[in-house]
A and B are shown apart, each in its own frame.
Chain A
Amino acid sequence: MSLQSSFIQIFISHIKREFLINFRSLVDVIAIISFMILIVTLFVLGIGPFEEKLKLISNAIFWIGLILAIIPSLEKTLQKDYDNGWLDQATTSPTPMELILLSKSLAYWLIVIIPLLISLPLFIVLLNIKLKLIPWLLISLLIGGLSISLIGIIGSALTLGAKRGNILLPILIIPLIIPILIFGVGISEAVRINESPLGNLFLLIGFTLIYLVISPFISAFLIRIAISR
């Protein structure tokens, strides 16, 4: 009998740990969703009762709302474990840091995306999103959400131990998120004007795959620096 679990088992047990922590105190998850609902509502109320205006910018509102709602919670993903010493335990363990961080970003993605999907009907009504757009919105939300959480982990690792991390973080990662925003909105816009959204979708997938490969390595490197201070 082998006493050592495989990397896959370690990976899954890590995702379980993140779920346990995040769904026990639902505050963070509720904060993301309610913040997004607030941003979208403010936009819709600000535009006034003009359907034409809303039609033009509803996709942009959705994506900007998503990004702005996720960013405040990104900082905490690593900061908590850094403060309580869990990351020290992870560095002095045989498990590679990259694996831990990959599972962390995937877990974060699932934790954010599941409540977002549940509240999606509300956004569809609020933003008057057309029925044919919904499947594409779902796909782009899933893929875009993954890359936002992968980028977010880099930013979170970068601001570990920084005094004003919560201010620094958005400034650092919003430039990296811009391509996601452009291609995400591009998909919905293409569907709206009856063009093929595949080009934008493939570019979005491409970006996500690049971040999927580099994000664990970059953030593991940054965490090692933060720990060695």
Chain B
Amino acid sequence: MLYLKDVTIKRGLKTVFYNWSATIENSKVTIISGKNGVGKSTLLRAIAGMIPIEKGIVKNHDNEIFKDKIKWGQNLIYIDSKNGLSKDLTVFENLKTWSEMRGWKTSDNDLQKALDSVDMLNHKNLYVSQCSEGLKKRAALSRLYLSLLFDVGFWLLDEPTNELDQKSIILFNKLIQRFLENKGTILLACHELKLFNFNYELLNLDLLKKKN
């Protein structure tokens, strides 16, 4: 259980969350919804450790997650609209350097399987500068497959389905299914809820913020 208690998160001068509490169930998909600008991305970036939490605590079971940032870093994958792909490298090289950056020892075979899981194997030697937005997003999502091989507990995904076509969404659903079988927890910010064919908890920020 990811447990946020009385958190205050600021973005610049604006206080996005003030003394705000929520719980996120483990081994489930939680979809964060709400209108534009309500703070979906801010919440995800804060949990990922990129935006400092001014006040309050975030606990995973009984451990405060930001006390041991290395351990928390091992435990999560964060993907947002920026993707984190270098333009001058190919899709394959991007995935390889990314897994090396996390310190994972992956064989080329694993990497190819990861690209295959999002149907990118045909495009693996394409430079990212030549990729369309949808291809870039798929290349970024291929990391999720790699994380299944290692002990990652959380996926924080910020609008992952925006540029995906029908077929990729099916593949994405499959990845989520596999992660849930591995007892993984998924936090997902998204507008279109009908795309998913699994059970999810809904964390509607519009409603929750009014209540507080």
Contacts and interface: CB of A to CB of B under 8 A. Distances in A.
A4 interface: yes
Contacts of B84: 84-86, 88-89
B83 interface: yes
A93 B52 contact: no
Interface of A: 2-6, 9-10, 13-14, 16-17, 20-21, 24-25, 80-81, 83-86, 88-96, 100, 227-229
B89 interface: yes
B105 A3 contact: yes
A89 B48 CA distance: 10
A88 B70 contact: no
B101 A88 contact: no
B37 interface: no
A100 B98 CA distance: 12
B73 A93 contact: yes
B50 interface: yes
Contact of B70 (A6, A89, A96): A96
Given A20-B89, A21-B88, A229-B12, A95 B102 contact: yes
B94 to A, nearest CB: 9
A92 B51 contact: no
Interface residues of B, number: 34
B138 to A, nearest CB: 15
B105 A4 contact: yes
Interface of B: 11-12, 48-52, 70-71, 73-74, 76-78, 80, 82-89, 93, 97-98, 100-105, 150, 156
A30 B152 CA distance: 42
B154 to A, nearest CB: 10
Contacts of B48: 91-92
B65 to A, nearest CB: 12
B80 A88 contact: yes
A94 B49 contact: no
A60 B106 CA distance: 49
Contact of B83 (A6, A85, A93, A100): A85
Contacts of A13: 97, 100-101
A229 B89 CA distance: 27
B200 to A, nearest CB: 23
Most buried by B among A14, A86, A100: A86
B12 to A, nearest CB: 7
Contacts of A85: 80, 82-85
A16 B156 CA distance: 28
Given A25-B88, A84-B83, A84-B85, A91 B49 contact: yes
Contacts of B156: 92
B100 A21 contact: no
Contacts of B86: 17, 21, 80-81, 84, 86
